[in-house]
Structure 1
Amino acid sequence: MAKSELNPRTTKFEFLGPPGALAITIGVPFMAYALSFGCSEAVGGCPPQPLSFIPDRVVASVSNLDWWKGLWDTKAALIYLAWYTFCVLAWAILPGDRVQGITLRNGQKKEYKINAFSTFLLALGITSGIIYRYGPQAFTFLYERWIGFVTASVLMSVVQAAACYAASFQDGKLLALGGNSGNFIYDFYIGRELNPSIGSFDIKSFNELRPGLILWVLINISMACEQATRRGGLANITDSMWLVLAFQTWYVADGLYNEPALFTTMDITTDGFGFMLAVGDLTWVPFVYTLQARYLAFKPVELGPMWTAAIFLVNATGYYIFRGANGEKNDFRNGKNPKNLQYMTTARGTKLLTSGWWGLSQHPNYFGDILMALAWSLPTGFDTPVTYFYVIYFAVLLIHRQRRDDEACHLKYGEDWVKYKKLVPYRIIPYIY
């Protein structure tokens, strides 16, 4: 196959093209910092009070050289680098099965090592040992050096995206269909190479599951330790903090335990590895998704039994839908149909589910995800809308992802996709959207 046929030039832009890619490249780190400073004990609350003074504070800060220097913390950067190194070594040393991904355009299949869950357990074991031996105050450094860790993760994202972009020009590289436009800004953001690797070490799948996702849980634990230190011990951690910690730890553990399911997702099969995925995996997930726990560290909320049970039920319902839908899909993709679900066969020979969870909407797993996101924000109460940023952002993200998938399926299946949408008309939320 000719090089131009294997790696055709990208002619259709997403995210409003290069201007949109540049805006998001700048905007994602900016928003991570904005949430860090805008919901912080150090600046007077969440959001800072009084609101009328916020613009003056922002101008005063960004015009002060010392403020910019304060974004950097050498100790935090070294700890973050040690953490990333730990994840790489765990990937290399810990045993794990090897599974093959989907067949690529060049006819090859990548092989992936499966040991993210054991890496997670090892990290939890070490963390538990530190807290048990030295007390909760020994694990509050993530809270105390927060901005420094955010900066370290952004820097790591930039370095990785730049290195992968430069390496993508080597001969023999398989490029992402959406990241080969020839425009540096756009391709740097989207990701030019589909699966950048160092030997058998796949950079994209590694970043998707290990350093950011596991750090998400460790940060939550650090926030719980900060609250415990202030309130006189682990026994005094609030029920709201326990809910956030339990919900999000379970979600991460579930994703890591079901690691093979990652290799059929759009991130792995379609998107290249550029700044979009790098900063999403390394900065956005651990340092934005932990907003609720960070808020509760300095603003404890006592829910009581009734509210605790109600929020638990919301999360359980979301998880039941999420896991049930993904289970049906994974079984079906692997040639199993234990529930005897109905499906339609396209002209390409592909089978599309039209019953079970997937008969209720085109993306029922997204509906479950949104319910869980809501449950993660509810423990913070209703004193501030800022802690509900996650569920709002996540709903927008999933709607955008659904629309991307809809466009891709129209191109892939043609009229068959039109027929399918008549059978399954709702996009995410049954009978609503």
Structure 2
Amino acid sequence: MAAVDAQASEPLLNESEGTTNEEPTATPAVEELNPKTIRADFNGVTGALAITTGLPTLIYVLYYALDAVPDAKVFDLCALEGYLIWFFGLVGLFYIVPGRVIDGTTLRDGTHLKYKMNGVNCFLVVLAVLIARGFITQGQLPELVFVADHLLGLITASIGFAFVLAFFVYFKSFGNPKTILAYGGNTGKPIFDWFIGRELNPRMGMFDIKLFCELRPGLFLWVIINAAEAHLQYRKFGYISDSMILVNIFQFIYVIDSAVLEAKNLTMIDITTDGFGFMLAFGDLALVPFTYTLQTRFLATHPVNLGWLGVVGIVALKSIGYYIFRSSNSEKNSFRQGDPSVAHLKYIETKSGSKLLISGWWGVTRHINYFGDWLMSIAWCVPTGFYTPVTYFYSLYFAILLIHRESRDEAKCSEKYGDDWKEYKRIVRWKIVPYVY
């Protein structure tokens, strides 16, 4: 999960797969390689500027709402050095650690990009190093202490790096006239194109900057920060609470799942459609690791003991959300592939030739997978109790993200299917939450 509006990432920062349940049709021929963007998302330049200033400010506000360490430095050279070692160390692992090479989806010029899939192997190397350091230092783990003590400086370093990276990929996009630009990032307005991402697949050889940032620095740092906060709780109180363990396990599973399923991101909207600019760079590198860890950061200094009943209830909520999310996406993918196991499902055949499911999971709401994903987000927040609304930021932010994504999909499908979409909405009434929205 990814980004401000990432697919799972939002893989994503948030893990929802795909936007519709339709059966895909052949991609129409495109006469112009890089058509001009007519309609800019986020209200154009005004929205881009608001988000560019607002979200970094929000991260600092959330930091001080929870941590408020008196002697913490906003500008911390040690933290900057540590962040650069972290980022470029992961770049080095990308090249060193083995992984299979696969083709991406067909681009609009008819070519395929090659992608090295070694995310899970790199993640395991990071974990192995961390575990080894635990044994060597007899549990002192100075690296985790460093992360907890320099968190504010790391926030500033990640935000600054996101700005620099966004400028780098923006200017790089002008270097080759054959570069494929994102449909949404070619307005000709520098501020907006820099924000939304002008180039579709900025890369250096086989090193794809967008996919790397989506799945490596921010997601892996998320796990490291959670571990650092658990370590901090142990240093302060002499034990690790069941709530801290639960949140760490839930979010670790999310990250390892994203790494294992790295290849699936090649069909996500972030990779296939969105450009890589400040929006995704900031979301991947700063928003994810420093807002998705609010729960463990609170619990580090405010332990919550759930007891077995609380643990079972939260695990049940998480399991229900996961079941809805995975089974609905599985049903959709099976339908797209013509699997006989879903031959009984009802659908509308549109004038464009696509088929829209109106039974099974996709007859309940038009984005039932979003509902399952959102339930899981609540399970991440509930272990912190109800002492502060700050720890529920992720669930609220995720709800806004999903609603925005649903509105984008609604506009796209309404334009694509016309009257067929109106009929589909009449049959499948609810958007995300059954009988509510």
Task: Compute the TM-score of the two structures, normalised by the length of structure 2.
Answer: 0.88
Question: Residue 113 of structure 1 aligns to a residue in which SS?
Answer: strand
- Corresponding residue of 1:379: 383
Instruction: Note if contact 1:193-1:273 (Cα within 8 Å) is conserved in structure 2.
Output: yes
Deviation (angstroms), 1:332: 3.8
Instruction: Describe the shift of the 1:334–1:203 C-alpha distance in structure 2 as closer, same or farther (beyond 3 A).
Output: farther
Name the structure 1 match of 2:12.
Answer: none
SS in 1 for 2:105: strand
**Residue 16 of structure 2 aligns with which residue?**
none
Match of 1:9 in 2: 36
Q: Which moved more, 1:9-18 or 1:96-105?
A: 96-105
CA spacing shift, 1:332–1:3, aligned 2, 3 Å: closer
Q: What is the alpha-carbon distance in structure 2 between the residues aligned to residue 241 and residue 294 of structure 1?
A: 9
In 1, Cα distance between equivalents of 2:236 and 2:340: 52
Whether the 8 Å CA contact 1:136–1:229 is kept in 2: the answer is no
Residue 103 of structure 2 is matched in structure 1 by: 100
3-state SS, counterpart of residue 115 of structure 2: strand
Provide the C-alpha distance between the structure 2 equivalents of 1:425 and 1:100, rounded to a whole number of angstroms. 38
1:231 aligns to what?
237
Alpha-carbon distance between aligned partners in 2 of 1:428 and 1:379, rounded to the nearest angstrom: 24
C-alpha displacement of 1:335: 4.8
What residue is the counterpart of 1:61 in the other structure?
A: none
Q: Which runs of 5+ in 1 are unaligned?
A: 44-65
Q: Residue 4 of structure 1: CA displacement?
A: 8.4
TM-score, structure 1 normalization: 0.89
Structure 2 residue 188 is matched with structure 1 residue 151: no
Q: Give 2:289's aligned residue.
A: 286
Using a 3 Å threshold, how does the CA distance of structure 1 residues 388 and 109 change in structure 2: closer, same or farther? same
Cα deviation, residue 421, structure 1: 2.4
Counterpart Cα distance in 1 of 2:100 and 2:332: 22
**TM-superposed deviation, 1:3:** 10
Picking from 213, 222, 225, the partner of 1:219 is 225
CA distance in 2 between counterparts of 1:349 and 1:100 reads 27
Q: What is the CA distance between 1:330 and its match in structure 2?
A: 3.4
- The amino acid across from 2:136 in the alignment is R
**1:348/1:108 CA distance change after superposition, 3 Å:** farther
For 1:51-200, list aligned pairs within 5 A: 70-134=73-137, 135-138=139-142, 139-170=144-175, 171-200=177-206
Residues 206-260 of structure 1 deviation map (CA, whole Å, 9 limit, x = unaligned): 111111111111110111111111122xxx2000100110111111111221122
- Shift of the alpha carbon at 1:136? 4.4
Give the secondary-structure state (helix, strand or coil) at the position aligned to 1:112: strand
The reply on whether 1:347 has 2:348 as its aligned counterpart is: no
Large movers: runs of 4+ above 6 Å: none
Whichever structure has more helix as a proportion of its residues is: 1
Identity rate, percent: 49
Aligned length: 406
Deviations 1:52-73 (A, max 9, x none): xxxxxxxxxxxxxx99xx3121
User: Does structure 2 conserve the Cα–Cα contact (< 8 Å) formed by 1:301 and 1:381?
Assistant: yes
Seen in structure 2, the aligned counterparts of structure 1 residues 351 and 338 have a Cα distance that, compared at 3 Å, is: same
1:40 is matched by which residue type in structure 2? Answer: D
2:54 match: 27
CA distance in 2, matches of 1:269, 1:356: 28
SS in structure 2 at match of 1:370: helix
Residue 177 of structure 1 aligns to which amino acid in structure 2? Y
Aligned partner of 1:59 in structure 2 is none
Q: Which whole-Å deviations, capped at 9, do the CAs of 1:163-209 have from their partners, x for residues lacking one? A: 11111122111111111111111111111111111111111111111
1:41–1:298 Cα contact (<8 Å) kept: no
2:89 maps to a residue whose letter is F
Tell me, in whole angstroms, the C-alpha distance in 2 between the residues paired with 1:370 and 1:73. Answer: 36
The aligned residue for residue 240 of structure 1 is: 243
Indicate how the Cα distance of structure 1 residues 94 and 398 shifts in structure 2: closer, same or farther if over 3 A, else same: same
Distance in 1 between the 2:272 and 2:358 partners? 23
Match of 2:402 in 1: 398
Q: Deviations over 1:378-418 (max 9, x none)?
A: 11111111111111111011100111111122233333333
Is the Cα contact below 8 Å between 2:334 and 2:342 reproduced in 1?
A: no
